[in-house]
Structure 1
Amino acid sequence: MTQQQRLNLVLELVSERGSVSITDISEQLGVSTATVRRDLNTLAEQRLVTRTHGGATSLGSGYELPLQYKIARQAEAKKAIARAVAELIEPGESVGLNGGTTTTEVARELGRSERLRKAEAPGVTIVTNALNIAYELSVREHVKIVVTGGVPRRQSYELVGPLVGATLSEFSLDTAVLGVDGLSAAFGATTVHEGEAEVSRRIGASSRRVIVAADATKIGRATFARICPLADIDVLVTDQPVAPEIAAEFATVGVQIVVAASA
């Protein structure tokens, strides 16, 4: 296990539990307590956790992990979801993408797609507020990239603010692919930051079809900021079958559920 992988896992434990001890981490990861101390010190120096005697605590209940530390979470599930989403995109479409680890995987699949590559240029037009997605796709000849204006958030590389809305108001998109932090019948699609929720809502409102790409850990939960009600979503692409009672609630408002096949 590399140090980056350990740091990912340590941050997940701290985020989920609020506080952890060196002994807990050592047992969970199967590494020495000396290694755990070094990792905790590294994370504390980066102001990602608060170091305590014998362990560490999170920075607060609303703390959001930076994007680079989320990559290990549900990695295979997100790749499977990305493949399924890419199959729903037709050559020549304009696609709005918000930021996040799942939509980053979707962007990579669109960038690798031979089906889109063989289409007349551009194979696909991507409109995004995510700087990392724009950077990765800028080398793909069959992808036309349009980046919104706005001010970047360090946590997620997403541009937020009124300039994003001003850009999106000028476009009519075929499909929005939205990553979320929660999806429930009661609250619809949600995320942890109100600025990102506003941008995602505008991307969806600018599109004729809205696809939510969310792994099973996001289904049935709600987070702080609402993106849109469930009725505004056309398709959910996820990695596991949805519980029957939740699936029934989604079907009532016309949400199609696509379960991605594993590799």
Structure 2
Amino acid sequence: MSDSDRHRVIRELLKERPFASVRDLQKVLGVSAATVRRDIEKLHETGLARKVYGGISAAEGYAAGYASARPYNENRDIAVDAKQAIARVAENLVADGDSIIVHAGSTCYYLGIRLARRNLRIYTNSMPLASYLGEHGTCQLTVAGGELHREPGIIHSLQSSSPGFFASKFFLGTQGISNEGILESHPLLVKVIRDLSECADEIVVLADSRKFSLRPRHVVLPLPRISTLVTDEGISDKNAQMIESAGIRLMIARRAGDEA
């Protein structure tokens, strides 16, 4: 397969999904990781796609139209290295004895795993995380009451707006980020996040850099409501400036092998 053929396949793949990892592309193209990385560099240089941490993302102009949320089981296998690096950095924001809220979502799940045996009070509405903490954790665990909403993958009671749990920090992911704020496509997530945001002193967003390319239709929280954002090295200078200009503490997660 020629260079141009591989580039065409990658561009077609990015019409179906907003992000593809190096490993994804190796499987699709049947080439080495080094060849994939050269293809990513070329597409990035020509503006046909965007190089991000661990792979490639659709160019911002195209990805802005991508609005539908992926199922949890599918999303958890995307950008895993970036999410785990973000969780590792976010863990350092938690002190022993803290009471925290950890929202549903794959990046928050990786954070919860790291906190499982810490001296903490954790509230979560994530069934996968609650199950893991119940079996493997020693932290004090409070699980949201109500029904399981498989899409968007949270436990929530439609009759209650407040969990009655107050935290020092609320950790959450997001489907997209823009200068308007953090974005979601599912109305229930909008309501749940807004309710939980009233129960914490600080809001910490965990989002890999591809989220800056996505534009779901609902603004959940404006940027000034966010205290800290943890992302990966794929964030562009433009987006980093947008975050810092909003008064948000920006933390960049690097792979373990890249840390000094």
Q: Distance in 1 between matches of 2:225 and 2:186?
A: 20
Within a 5 Å distance, the mapping from 1:51-200 to structure 2 comes to 63-111=68-116, 116=118, 123-163=119-159, 165-166=161-162, 168=163, 170-185=164-179, 187-200=180-193
Q: Distance in 1 between matches of 2:244 and 2:72?
A: 32
Q: Distance in 2 between matches of 1:15 and 1:152?
A: 28
Residues 67 and 156 of structure 1 are in contact (CA less than 8 Å); yes or no, is this contact kept in structure 2? yes
Distance change (3 Å), C-alpha of 1:248 and 1:66: closer
Distance change (3 Å), C-alpha of 1:132 and 1:144: same
Larger relative contact order (Cα-Cα within 8 Å, sequence gap ≥ 6): 2
Aligned amino acid, residue 137 of structure 1: L
Cα offset, 1:98, TM superposition: 1.3
Look up the SS of the partner of 1:226 in the other structure: strand
Aligned amino acid, residue 110 of structure 2: E
Cα offset, 1:181, TM superposition: 0.7
Distance change (3 Å), C-alpha of 1:220 and 1:256: farther
Cα offset, 1:16, TM superposition: 2.4
Of the three residues 217, 229, 235, the one matched with 1:224 is 217
- Where structure 1 has 5 or more consecutive residues not aligned to the other structure, the ranges are 1-11, 18-24, 31-60, 117-122
Q: Distance in 2 between matches of 1:181 and 1:102?
A: 11
Cα deviation 1:225-256 (Å, max 9, x = unaligned): 22210000000000116333322222222100
Question: % of aligned pairs identical?
Answer: 25
Distance change (3 Å), C-alpha of 1:160 and 1:196: farther
Cα offset, 1:164, TM superposition: 5.0
Look up the SS of the partner of 1:139 in the other structure: helix
The number of residues matched between the two structures is 204
- TM-score, normalisation: structure 2: 0.70
Residue aligning to 1:249: 242
Residue aligning to 1:53: none
Residues 182 and 191 of structure 1 are in contact (CA less than 8 Å); yes or no, is this contact kept in structure 2? yes
Confirm or deny that 1:260 pairs with 2:227.
no
Confirm or deny that 1:234 pairs with 2:227.
yes
Residues 176 and 203 of structure 1 are in contact (CA less than 8 Å); yes or no, is this contact kept in structure 2? yes
Aligned amino acid, residue 157 of structure 1: G
Distance change (3 Å), C-alpha of 1:62 and 1:190: closer
CA RMSD of aligned residues (A): 2.6
Q: Distance in 2 between matches of 1:248 and 1:69?
A: 31
Distance change (3 Å), C-alpha of 1:142 and 1:152: same
Distance change (3 Å), C-alpha of 1:67 and 1:220: closer
Cα offset, 1:205, TM superposition: 1.8
Moved over 4 A (4+): none
Q: Distance in 1 between matches of 2:213 and 2:15?
A: 22
Q: Distance in 1 between matches of 2:70 and 2:238?
A: 31
Q: Distance in 1 between matches of 2:69 and 2:251?
A: 28
Cα offset, 1:161, TM superposition: 4.4
Cα offset, 1:62, TM superposition: 5.7
Q: Distance in 2 between matches of 1:104 and 1:137?
A: 10
Cα deviation 1:60-116 (Å, max 9, x = unaligned): x7654321122220000000000001111110111111111111111111125xxx3
Q: Distance in 1 between matches of 2:242 and 2:69?
A: 29
